[in-house]
A and B are shown apart, each in its own frame.
Chain A
Amino acid sequence: MDSLIDMTDVSKVFTGGARTVALDDVTLHIAAGEFTAVMGASGSGKSTLLNLVAGLDRATSGRIVVDGIDLTRANESQLARYRRSHVGFVFQFFNLLSNLTVLENVMVPAELAGMRSGEARARAAELLKELGMADVHRSYAANLSGGQRQRVAIARALINRPALVLADEPTGALDSRAGDQVMGLLVELNRRGQTILLVTHDAKLAAGHGRRVVTLRDGRVHDDVRLQPQRATEPAELVRLGADEA
């Protein structure tokens, strides 16, 4: 199987103050095109795992290769280039720049990656249109609802055609309806082939949308399960309101 992410025997130990083993000998392979949810309570190691795959932090030991790039051997400038061109980030609190318009926010990573301004503008406009945000190009992020902001953030994440989209609690700051829309969008992107790694503490998000659910506990992979989507189930097999008749 063609792996997009290969983590082999990866550990991360924090030594400031008390020694903490955040990730303990984790091996995980994720194929291109997968929608994987990494789930765990706070302290389980899921944020550490995300930071390592994102190239935001370095493993203490082990090897991490993403899209053919060995993150454990890359120098700082190679890591920066990796983050810009291979990874799209979707964060809980959107991280949009409030003094830029929606269109300009989406263009930022493209311009940082060296795309010509005209091309970046055209691609940003196209993405916003696809995500149903064509009418807010010139608005400032501060004037948008949470759900709209997250859709802008998703457009921004996609502008450099990343091999991998990392979503860190993407619905954490949204009401349930806006959250459902954002997750629906991620599912649709995955259907079109986008590899997505979702990190969440929320089982409803992880199992409700991910195709594969990896559970971390105390820095280790506790469980790794592939779920079957769209099974033909009768409602009464799932929710039983009355025990009237068999």
Chain B
Amino acid sequence: MYGQGMSLRFGVLGLLAEEPLHGYEVKTRFEEMLGGTWKVNIGSVYQVLQRLERDGLVEATGDRGDRGRQAYRATVAGISGLTEWLEDPDSQPQLLREDFYVRLLLLGRQPNGHLARLLDRQRRVYLQRMRDLADQEKIARERGRPQVALLFKGGQLHTEAELKFLDAVVDEMGKE
């Protein structure tokens, strides 16, 4: 059941477990928590709120405010569902960059050096990304957002893995 979109569902639920919020507040707080790495459509937030309400995990609270905005809060069942999700380690399959991997597989069938060129260009993209991520990590730390800095640290470690993977592809090709 923990597929795509589960983190938005439980992110919203987690914020509503802290205090009652209306839809737009949920959107801005969620984006703020993620340091700008996820822009959420307000429509998706309302859709998530509706489903959470349908499932009995959140409930409307208080009167509709000005402009008809409705605040929600987590129910007891919601808090217990949230706790369970938070404690469950992530065992989803590793998400790879499908676009690059499919290109790699197709070029690997061709004998004409396109693959080597792709690998070199891809490598430069990753090196520049590493620099950009390191800069963003520094900015997050300077702004007193160590948890957001961790997202960029995570990005650097993933980029490092991608670079190592490119080296592995080169080594493998060298054997042929």
Contact = CB atoms under 8 A, between A and B. Distances in A.
Nearest to B43: A245
A233 B44 contact: no
Nearest to A41: B167
B61 to A, nearest CB: 25
B97 to A, nearest CB: 11
A244 B40 contact: yes
Interface string B1-17: 00011011000000000
A230 interface: yes
B37 A239 contact: yes
A213 B39 contact: no
A236 B133 CA distance: 11
Contact of A241 (B38, B41, B120, B124): B38
Nearest to B42: A245
Interface in B29-72: 34-41, 44
A201 B36 CA distance: 31
Given A202-B160, A242-B38, A245-B44, 5 more contacts: A207-B128, A208-B156, A238-B37, A238-B133, A243-B4
Cβ-closest 5 pairs across A and B: A208-B134, A207-B130, A235-B36, A242-B38, A245-B41
19 contacts: A204-B130, A207-B131, A208-B130, A208-B134, A209-B134, A213-B127, A225-B127, A225-B128, A227-B128, A228-B128, A231-B131, A235-B136, A236-B37, A238-B129, A239-B154, A240-B37, A242-B37, A242-B40, A244-B38
